[in-house]
Amino acid sequence: MQKSDTAKTAALLAAEPALAEALRWFSTEKRWINEKHLELCRIAAPTFQEQARAEWMVAQFKALGCDAKLDRAGNVLAYLNEQHDGPLVALTAHLDTVLEPRTAEDIRGSRDGELLGPGVSDNGAGLAALLAVAHAVRVNRMLRASRLPLVLVANVGEEGEGNLSGMRFLCRPSGMGGKIRSFLVLDGPATDHITNRALASRRYEIICTGPGGHSWSDFGTGNPVHTLARAIAYFAEQPPPNGAGAPRSTYNFGLIEGGTSINSIPVDARAKVDLRSESPYRIDEMAALLTGAIERALEVENERATGGRVNAKIREIGARPGGQLPEGARILAHLRSTDSYLGIRAHLDCASTDANVPLSMGIPAVSIGAGGQGGGAHTPNEWFRPEGREAGLRRILLTLVMLMRDLDEASAR
């Protein structure tokens, strides 16, 4: 079959003996990959509590002969060679999950590699891919002997209020940001997208407080829960415009808390809200609408109150920067060549991932899936199936090799 011009680079690369052997490894060792995937997902790693899984990943990398360690943020860094001075390419996947299994048995696996439970796709698929790439290279005599300017990173703090803390540390205080020339970020399994635009977001906590009291004898005292509910309703009545030509924008009140009993007027109530938009201006606009809704709710509640008043404050608890991969970026050209060779059809999209940080700093980065099929992310019924995983892993390795050869060419000039 004649390969298109776009696919020729990847096809020639895949035919090289060392790489051909490594690419075959992903098929011959499917069982090993499935077993490691199940094992890592059974180690709970909710955001801010990733240490046990991080230490397990370090041990796995060391068992494969990698130079692996934890940095001060809790990220796992693994190098395939002992010498790793100079520019690097980074392959990353986040350690943390939104939900955690209560017991190891909450993650259920079948003999053919199907998994069910929190985090098996997001981001068990990405972490399993890190191990698979390391293993495929380390067991390959020719690749093992090469100096590969590659760092594998299993980072903390991607989900929720983690606020991309692991990637922020990696790119800035750690000093690695000055060494890494490109980032290939693995997030989930799907190979049908390439995230080349970073979706900006802001997260806020709204806190309403009052004197509280008895539901009968103190009725009329300003009620923080009533105030908060009214503020949410006011904001939701002003949905962001998402019509033709408008930048897509969303909001979500994902957590509401308050009160102590059904017959007590609460002393406090709080909510957390996530605002996202393809436009920084639109996020500013939504933040202003949120503040206005809270002020209006306070005014109405305190006008109705016959007793103590309610107060409210809003504080920012997270912000993810936006950014975009420049047109003509080599990393995108390499992915397109690999996809054409492998028969993968992927569209460009905008999303919030670890790639936000390097993209905001002008460092080439994309986020892609690690292969396989999955769904139900961020729910107890999350699932993963390994069908198609080999193509995803081949895609990753071929793209990485192209990026590393770019570094060699640049250093030779």
> Is the per-residue pLDDT at 411 higher than 70?
no
- For 83, 179, 403, the CA distances from 89, given in Å and listed in that order, are 14, 8, 7
Kindly report, residue by residue over 352-406, the tens digit of the pLDDT. Answer: 999 999 999 999 999 999 999 999 999 999 999 999 999 999 999 999 999 999 9
- Taking alpha carbons only, the member of 371, 347, 382 closest to residue 127 is 371
Residue 207 makes CB contacts below 8 A (sequence gap 6+) with: 268, 269, 270, 312, 313, 314, 315
Q: What is the rounded (10 degree) CA torsion for 24, 29, 34, 39?
A: -130
264-287 pLDDT, tens digit each? 999 999 999 999 999 888 999 999
Domain boundary (320, 352, 371) is at 320
Burial 40-71 (b: 16+ CB within 10 A, else e): bbbbbbbbeebeebbebbbebbeebbbebebb
The pLDDT confidence band at residue 4, using thresholds 50, 70 and 90, is low
DSSP characters for 192-209? SEEEEEEPEEEEEEEEEE
Q: How far apart are CA 127 and CA 93, in angstroms?
A: 6
Q: Among 296, 320, 344, identify where a domain stops.
A: 320
Residue 410, pLDDT > 80, answer no
Residue-range definition of the domain harbouring residue 263:
200-320
Q: Is 380 found in the same domain as 316? A: no
In whole angstroms, give the CA distance from residue 51 to residue 57: 10
Is residue 165 located within the same domain as residue 276?
no
Last residue of a domain, one of 320, 353, 369: 320
337 with 311, same domain: the answer is no
- Asked whether residue 264 falls in the same domain as residue 246, the answer is yes
* Residue 325 DSSP class: P
Question: CATH number of the domain that 16 lies in?
Answer: 3.40.630.10
Q: Tell me the pLDDT tens digit for each residue of 136-192.
A: 999 998 888 788 999 999 999 999 999 999 999 999 988 888 899 999 999 999 999
CA distance 388 to 322: 31
Residues 192, 98, 172, 133, Cα dihedral to 10°: -50
Average pLDDT over residues 319-327: 92
Same domain? 194 vs 204 = no
21 by DSSP, 3-state: which?
helix
3-state secondary structure of 127: helix
Residue 162's pLDDT is 95
Rounded to two decimals, what is the model's pTM?
A: 0.91
For the chain, the domain total comes to: 2
